[in-house]
């Protein structure tokens, strides 16, 4: 019978043959963030729908077209989070963190949901690694988060990824800019899509981010926001550039970046890869100084970003960056008879306590089938226990690659010592073997 119910379009299963890569980048991200003083926050998968309408913005594609919304049994209007910033902002207000020691520095790894057209690098459930920094309006905060991303890519060995920055001003300078955009697009109304006609009135900046090819074409010659910055915004942007220069972080100013979320002010940035085809932005972020206040919190500035895990792994694959795979099994213990199978259970237990991966037969198969299985799972060593081995308390341990065997006493300490002597790395040490990374698994 064929499988009747299949996974939903735009979602994916991550099997063990791939999941170790996910664990690696997520753990590296959260641990490296710790070095910069960012602690991990975990937030709910769904929220009050109004949170996203208010923060992401009701004229954005994310809210207008992509959000998964539903009404629950209690009649509440909810949404699966399309991104992490809104929820983290709500959480820092609700928890009172925003009223404590500033800056508040948070990192996260979470899944997001957007009803988009699935394609390479564009999923309906996807995963983000992100950071938010609250309580500093200084360009040093912008430089801190941008330099983190730059360092993180460096640690992973990613090349050919460029940083593009822009400033989209603040509510003060945006008034004049919006007026300039309106008068530009007013004359081209006939070519704008239905959605953008609405945006022309409410939020003309959003037209610049429209995916419709015709709107996109017209937007190319629209006035750029950099020409309209007020003195404070200009000084902030110059301050950021000065810091990036001082930190030797290469960037280009791309006046066309506006980002697809309404809460951004001043700095916006993207890291773009030449190895990704159409979905080339691996990481996007920016400053959102009015957001906390507009959600009912203190008047505190914030800045953050998120990078897509799927796209990050795609870039690493394209660049041939290998993530060390943990050994699937250090020792497989086969057995004949009940007593031997119980001894095998005890021995694998003690090895696991030492951090080695060990398995034994739990199916009750023939020795031949057990050894076939050991081979299939790629066990490094194997041994078989029967009546003789139990009587003498000794067995032959076999190196599955060379076929070499050695006699070994069947006690916990001798067995563990064997693996230490062979310099088999315990599972924790195997992570990050060939990469120059900060110590992990702490």
DSSP SS3 for 20: helix
Question: For residues 188 and 259, which CB has a smaller minimum distance to ligand ATP in the complex?
Answer: 259
Residue 147 interacts with ligand ATP (CB under 6 A)? no
- 114 binds ligand ATP, rule: CB under 6 A: yes
CB neighbour list of residue 79: distance below 8 Å, 6 or more residues apart: 46, 47, 48, 49, 51, 52, 67, 68, 69, 70
Return the beta strands (E) in 68-169 as ranges: 69-71, 77-80, 104-113, 125-134, 161-167
Backbone angles phi, psi at 16, to 5 degrees: -55, -30
- What whole-number distance in Å separates Cα of residue 410 and Cα of residue 229? 75
Q: From the CB of 172, what's the least distance to ligand ATP, in Å?
A: 25
Interface characters, 196-225, with ligand ATP (x: CB under 6 A): ------------------------------
Task: With beta carbons less than 8 A apart as the criterion, state whether 41 and 106 touch.
Answer: yes
Assess 310 for contact with ligand ATP (CB under 6 A). yes
Residue from 174, 311, 343, 380 in contact with ligand ATP (CB under 6 A): 311
Q: Which of 192, 307 has the CB closer to ligand ATP?
A: 307
> According to the binding rule CB under 6 A, does residue 260 interact with ligand ATP?
yes
What is residue 125's three-state secondary structure? Answer: strand
Residue 262, interface with ligand ATP (CB under 6 A)? no
Residues in binding contact with ligand ATP, number by CB under 6 A: 19
Q: Does position 60 bind ligand ATP by CB under 6 A? A: no
Among positions 82-101, residues that touch ligand ATP (CB under 6 A) are 83
Neighbour-count burial of 226, counting CB atoms closer than 10 A to its CB (0-12 exposed, 13-18 middle, 19+ buried)? middle
Determine if 282 is a binding residue for ligand ATP (CB under 6 A): yes
- Tell the smallest beta-carbon distance from residue 210 to ligand ATP (Å): 11
Q: Does 306 bind ligand ATP (CB under 6 A)?
A: yes
Q: Which residues contact 261 (CB under 8 A, 6 or more apart)?
A: 55, 56, 57, 60, 62, 83, 85
Closest distance of CB 270 from ligand ATP, Å: 7
Which of 26, 47, 116, 176 touches ligand ATP by CB under 6 A? 116
For 170, 171, 191, 227, the CA distances from 174, given in Å and listed in that order, are 6, 5, 24, 11
Summarize as ranges the residues that interact with ligand ATP (CB under 6 A).
83, 114, 116, 121-123, 126, 128, 260, 279, 281-284, 306-308, 310-311
């Amino acid at each position: 019978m064929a499988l009747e119910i299949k996974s939903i379009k735009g979602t994916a299963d991550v099997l063990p043959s791939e999941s170790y890569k996910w664990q690696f980048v997520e753990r590296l991200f959260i641990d490296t963030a710790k070095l910069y003083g960012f602690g991990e926050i975990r937030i709910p998968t769904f929220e009050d729908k109004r949170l996203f309408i208010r923060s992401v913005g009701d004229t954005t594609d994310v809210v207008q077209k992509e959000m998964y919304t539903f009404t629950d049994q209690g009649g509440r209007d909810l949404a699966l989070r399309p991104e992490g910033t809104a929820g983290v902002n709500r959480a820092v207000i609700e928890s009172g963190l925003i009223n404590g020691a500033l800056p508040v520095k948070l990192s996260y790894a979470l899944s997001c949901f957007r009803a988009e057209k699935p394609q390479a690098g564009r999923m309906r459930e996807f995963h983000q690694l992100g950071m938010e920094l609250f309580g500093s309006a200084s360009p040093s905060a912008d430089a801190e988060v941008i330099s983190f991303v730059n360092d993180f890519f460096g640690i992973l060995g990613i090349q050919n990824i460029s940083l593009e920055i822009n400033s989209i001003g603040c509510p003060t300078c945006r008034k004049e800019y919006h007026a300039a955009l309106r008068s530009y697009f007013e004359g081209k109304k006939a070519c704008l899509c239905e959605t953008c006609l609405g945006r022309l009135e409410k939020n003309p900046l959003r037209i610049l981010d429209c995916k419709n090819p015709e709107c996109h074409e017209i937007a190319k010659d629209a006035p750029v926001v950099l020409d309209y910055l007020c003195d404070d915004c200009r000084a902030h942007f110059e301050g950021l550039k000065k810091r990036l220069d001082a930190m030797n972080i290469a960037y280009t100013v791309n006046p066309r970046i506006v980002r697809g979320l309404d809460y951004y002010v001043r700095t916006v940035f993207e890291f773009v890869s030449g190895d990704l085809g159409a979905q080339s932005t691996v990481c996007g972020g920016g400053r959102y100084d009015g957001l906390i206040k507009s959600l009912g919190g203190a008047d505190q500035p914030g800045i953050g970003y998120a990078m897509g895990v799927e796209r990050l792994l795609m870039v690493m694959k394209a660049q041939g960056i290998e993530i060390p795979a943990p050994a699937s099994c250090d020792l497989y213990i086969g057995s004949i008879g009940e007593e031997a199978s119980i001894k095998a259970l005890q021995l694998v237990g003690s090895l696991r306590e030492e951090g080695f991966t060990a398995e034994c037969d739990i199916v009750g198969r023939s020795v031949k089938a057990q050894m076939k299985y050991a081979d299939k799972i790629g066990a490094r060593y194997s041994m078989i226990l029967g009546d003789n081995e139990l009587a003498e308390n000794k067995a032959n341990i076999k190196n599955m690659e060379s076929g070499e065997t050695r006699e070994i006493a069947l006690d916990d300490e001798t067995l563990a010592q064997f693996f230490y002597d062979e310099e088999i790395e315990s599972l924790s040490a195997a992570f990050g073997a060939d990469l120059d990374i900060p110590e992990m698994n702490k």
